[in-house]
Amino acid sequence: MSPDTLENENNWEVFVGRFVSGTLKAEEWTHQAHLAVAAWFVSRYPPIEAGVRIRTGIRHLNVCLGGVNSASRGYHETLTEFWILEVRSHLAEHGAGLESIRLLTQ
């Protein structure tokens, strides 16, 4: 994730769009990027839908990057659920503005 990803709402939305389309580069798909993407969905969709979109997107991006999603590699349900809950908690406490998301991704 580049430093300008969270510079403004448009950059954030474009980054999430690249996540959804599977066009992010592997080096962009950092822990901070996971959190920024999760925050975008959690702040815009009801909990179940946000979770589905995040999970589906991660699996899709893994495949687009040449990876696999198996019991031992790729997508990890327990970690994803943990981080979705952490993001929800952060947004509930700090709001969903860009400053809050920057704090979350530090």
Summarize pLDDT for 19-54 with one digit per residue, the tens: 999 999 999 999 999 999 999 999 999 999 999 999
Q: Alpha-carbon distance 70 to 53, whole Å?
A: 19
pLDDT tens sequence across 57-80? 999 999 999 998 888 888 888 999
Q: Where are the domains of the chain?
A: 3-104
pLDDT of residue 62: 95
pLDDT of residue 46: 97
pLDDT of residue 29: 95
pLDDT of residue 73: 83
Q: Which of 101, 100, 97 is nearest to 34 (CA)?
A: 101
- Burial (CB < 10 A; 0-12, 13-18, 19+), residue 54, is buried
